[in-house]
Amino acid sequence: MRLALTDAGEYTLALSVADRVFLVSSLIMSQTHTGDAEYEIVTGRSKDAGDAYLQGWRLTGSEGDGYALDLSQPDLDFVFRSLRLCVTHVSDAEYEIVIGRRRQESAAELSDLEDQAEAAFSERIKQEVDRKGGWQLVVARMGDLSLLAEEVLVDRLATEASEQGKAIDAGERQRALVLQSKIDAVLAELERRGADASAVLAGLLGSDDPGVRLLAASKLLRSNPAARLTLETLAKPGRPGLARAAERALRSRRRRER
């Protein structure tokens, strides 16, 4: 399954015949293996609304050519949450019998799809903000970074990373992207001066703030062995938003290492 961004700012999911069967079966099992209240809390929709979605979803194509499923952002979120429910609420044996795939394989594919969705969402927001000249405005409002002492820039980097961590943890994805543009601007200024950005980031790995550690470890994952351990620690249950971000960084690195 491959997820892509459409010109209209929505998503399209390319499906084979087997993918289509998997998706439908999973969405149905997510209903049959959870109570009404839990289903609505997790997916954000009632079971009747879930049924209505399946009856009216925007699926085009054929068995020979494959299918394409058009998804709005709310529909995409609903599908992912339903798939996750199915993976976590069905036993290994029953899952493989009904779905036709091993549960671990589906969990890995779902994680990959979620990474694709995150990348597509980020690209969509970047395009929207770029059309409005928003990135330049964000950086301009930071003031003239060239006038700041290096230690002030490092403090600024930690502050923006801390705020980004809070935004990620709260699910404020657009705000997290804006903060990333500020972080990139500070790092660019440090590099322009010839400062060792890797050394600066390494000094932040021991921060008490999880958002600061997340930024430093994500940037240093290719070059600093301590970064992987930091991300693995952040990926443990406790802070769901930060844990997912840490997991995405680790998965991205593992894909590059294959």
pLDDT per position as a tens digit, 42-72: 999 999 999 998 888 878 887 777 889 898 8
Among 59, 83, 113, residue at a domain's last position: 113
If you ran DSSP here, which 8-state letter would residue 146 be given?
G
Would 16 be classed as within a structural domain?
yes
Q: Report long-range pairs for 219-225 (Cβ below 8 Å, ≥24 apart).
A: 221/249, 221/250, 221/253, 222/253, 223/198, 224/198
208 plus 101 within the same structural domain: no
Would 128 be classed as within a structural domain?
no
Domain CATH code at residue 186: 1.25.40
For residue 1, is pLDDT > 90? no
- pTM score of the predicted model: 0.67
Find the range with the poorest average confidence among 136-145, 226-235, 246-255. Answer: 136-145
21: its two tokens: 């069967």
Range of the domain at 182: 133-257
pLDDT tens digits, one per residue of 149-202: 999 999 999 999 999 999 998 888 888 988 988 999 999 999 998 989 899 999
Q: Which residues have CB under 8 Å from 14's CB, separation 6+?
A: 1, 2, 3, 4, 66, 67, 68
